[in-house]
């Protein structure tokens, strides 16, 4: 069985071809994650510190993934 996912090693903020069926704009995805994290942090005070540390204070998705 052939894998549908492709390995990508570059860390450039551009559209990535992660799966054959989907193009993912990493910048748009990161902004959506930050928006949702801010909304969750506002409604869930106990998660605020974790969300700030991992997502909201991170400059990019790559940094956030490396934090936890």
- Nearest CA among 35, 4, 8, 3 for reference residue 22: 4
- What phi and psi values does residue 9 have, to the nearest 5 degrees? -105, -15
Look up residue 7 and give its two tokens: 């390995």
The H or E element containing residue 59 is none
Is residue 5's pLDDT more than 90?
no
Compute CA 24 distance to the chain's CA centroid, rounded to the nearest angstrom: 11
Neighbours of 61 (CB within 10 A): 18
- List pLDDT tens digits, range 22-52: 677 888 999 999 999 999 999 999 999 999 9
pTM of the model: 0.64
């Amino acid at each position: 069985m052939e894998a549908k996912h492709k390995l990508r090693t570059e860390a450039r903020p551009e559209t990535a071809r992660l799966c054959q069926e989907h193009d993912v704009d990493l910048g748009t995805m990161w902004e959506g994650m930050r928006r949702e994290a801010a909304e969750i942090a506002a409604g869930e005070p106990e998660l605020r510190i974790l969300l700030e540390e991992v997502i909201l204070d991170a400059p990019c998705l790559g940094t956030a993934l490396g934090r936890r």
